[in-house]
Chains A and B, each alone.
Chain A
Amino acid sequence: MATSQSPMEDAMRGKIADCFAPTSLEIFNDSHLHAHHKAMEGSTSRETHFRVYITSDAFKSKMQPARHRMVYTLLKDELAAEGGIHALQLRTRTTEEEDKAKASGTA
């Protein structure tokens, strides 16, 4: 099997899928938008900034900070690693919220 060009993203996808059994999972790699920023000086990784949209009922009855914390805890090692994830934008919705958003056109 050929080695993946996106080990970080693969790891994230795997972990999130296992933990949240999401009905929808989208991962966007925005690293190229920040590569020239001062904070990224000296970094060789192309997988530093991510936008992740997760729809899962594992988030039911949890407030947003709690939901985000669930994801942060899951990806603790990746966030803490040298050259790992530098920034993580999250959208965490339940299936109900996702349907509502789609219906009102703000999905």
Chain B
Amino acid sequence: MNTVIPITSEGDFDSQTAALPPSCLAIIYFHAPWAEPCKQMSTILNTLASTYPTTSPPQTTFLSLDAEEVSDVSERYDVTQVPLVVLQKDGQVVEAVTGTDASKVRNAVEKHAGSPSAGAPGKAGLPPAQNVTKPAPSQSLDEPSAPHTNGSGAADLSKYAPSASDPATAPEYSSGEVNGATKEELDSRLKELVKAAPVMLFMKGTPSAPQCGFSRQTVSMLREKGVRYGFFNILADDEVRQGLKEFSDWPTFPQVYVGGELVGGLDILKEEFENDSEFLKDYSVHASKGGPAAPEQQAQPA
């Protein structure tokens, strides 16, 4: 799966883009560390990147630039506000998206690069089988690259807020995040978060290290059906944990959202799958051409 590559200099940018074949879509993301909305966009792009398989030749490349640090490139693209996502093919800008609307960015990328499953030679990855390995330590917020993912099926969005890498206990307060973010700010943040991926799972722990039996079963079920989803570890962010309960008027976790709407918890998910064998079929890796990928062929992070 793809990751977002940070670019730190003009030279770096030029060499990266020069190496791309004309059919490859470059998704160039301009951000600034001081701009709050950029945190959201970073998360959204990391998730999006991880749903595109790494192919050869590359179908998509995600580059991220600190707009002020690499100001020469920013000037070239006439960047006046961040976050800004520029889509470029064969050296030509085909689209530019401002703001933090996850679906807008995703639609633009899919329009020009095709949806993640198209073109993938049946090797689209699934969240890996759960084993007891420790998840990789999370990156600091200064590096929007290398998302904390578990195979291209699930993407970690708990970098959405600065969080401890250890999901064992719920911290008293969300670490680092401005305490007492106003209700509106929290609400709008949650609104975007539930849409960050077409299927979103808010769980206790992570898919490779679930911290609750119900969360573990939910991950298991989604993996069995080969559903692509983004996940958020609510144990790592108490603000989201409590906020989401109010936001959705739903007191328990795990919570599954499809297209930004709450589907419910484990029991509802189970019933939906029982009643309808096509449930979530559109979000499954099996929807790609060439039939389902054999379990042995799960793509692993490089």
Which 4 A/B pairs are nearest by Cβ-Cβ distance?
A64-B268, A65-B264, A79-B251, A89-B267
Contact partners of A37 in chain B: CB under 8 A: 212-213
Of B212, B213, B252, B271, which is within 8 A of A64 by CB?
B271
The yes or no answer to A69 lying at the interface (CB within 8 A) is: yes
Contact partners of B262 in chain A: CB under 8 A: 65
The yes or no answer to A88 lying at the interface (CB within 8 A) is: yes
The yes or no answer to B18 lying at the interface (CB within 8 A) is: no
The yes or no answer to B26 lying at the interface (CB within 8 A) is: no
Contact partners of B204 in chain A: CB under 8 A: 39
Given contacts A88-B252, A106-B274, contact A39 B212 (CB under 8 A): yes
Question: How far is the CB of B225 from the nearest CB of chain A, in Å?
Answer: 18
Q: Mark B259-292, 1 if CB is under 8 A from A, else 0.
A: 0001111111001101000000000000000000
Q: Mark A68-107, 1 if CB is under 8 A from B, else 0.
A: 1100110010011000000111110000000000000010
Q: How far is the CA of A71 from the CA of B136 in the complex (A)?
A: 39
The yes or no answer to B214 lying at the interface (CB within 8 A) is: yes
A38 touches B252 (CB 8 A): no
Q: How far is the CA of A69 from the CA of B262 in the complex (A)?
A: 11
User: Interface majority SS on A: helix, strand, loop or mixed?
Assistant: helix
Residues from 207 to 246 in B contacting A, C-beta threshold 8 Å: 211-214
Q: How far is the CA of A76 from the CA of B245 in the complex (A)?
A: 12
CB-defined A-B contacts under 8 Å, sample of 18: A38-B168, A38-B211, A39-B204, A39-B211, A64-B264, A64-B268, A64-B271, A65-B250, A65-B263, A65-B264, A72-B249, A76-B251, A79-B252, A87-B252, A88-B252, A89-B214, A90-B267, A91-B267
Most chain B CB atoms below 10 A, which of A65, A90, A91:
A65
A38 touches B169 (CB 8 A): yes
* Nearest CB in chain A to that of B269: its residue: A64
Given contacts A79-B251, A87-B252, A88-B252, contact A68 B264 (CB under 8 A): yes
If A90-B267, A91-B267 are given as contacts, then 7 extra A-B residue pairs at C-beta distance below 8 Å, sorted by A number, are: A34-B213, A37-B213, A39-B211, A39-B212, A64-B271, A89-B267, A91-B271
What number of A residues sit within 8 Å (CB to CB) of B? Answer: 19
Contact partners of A69 in chain B: CB under 8 A: 249-250
Q: How far is the CA of A39 from the CA of B272 in the complex (A)?
A: 28
Question: How far is the CB of A63 from the nearest CB of chain B, in Å?
Answer: 9
B212 touches A89 (CB 8 A): no
Contact partners of A68 in chain B: CB under 8 A: 250, 264-265, 267-268
B214 touches A87 (CB 8 A): yes
A65 touches B252 (CB 8 A): no
B274 touches A64 (CB 8 A): no
Q: Mark A50-73, 1 if CB is under 8 A from B, else 0.
A: 000000000000001100110011
Contact partners of B250 in chain A: CB under 8 A: 65, 68-69, 72
Contact partners of A91 in chain B: CB under 8 A: 267, 271
Q: How far is the CA of A39 from the CA of B168 in the complex (A)?
A: 9
Q: How far is the CA of A73 from the CA of B212 in the complex (A)?
A: 24
Q: How far is the CA of A65 from the CA of B271 in the complex (A)?
A: 11
* Nearest CB in chain A to that of B204: its residue: A39
Contact partners of A106 in chain B: CB under 8 A: 274
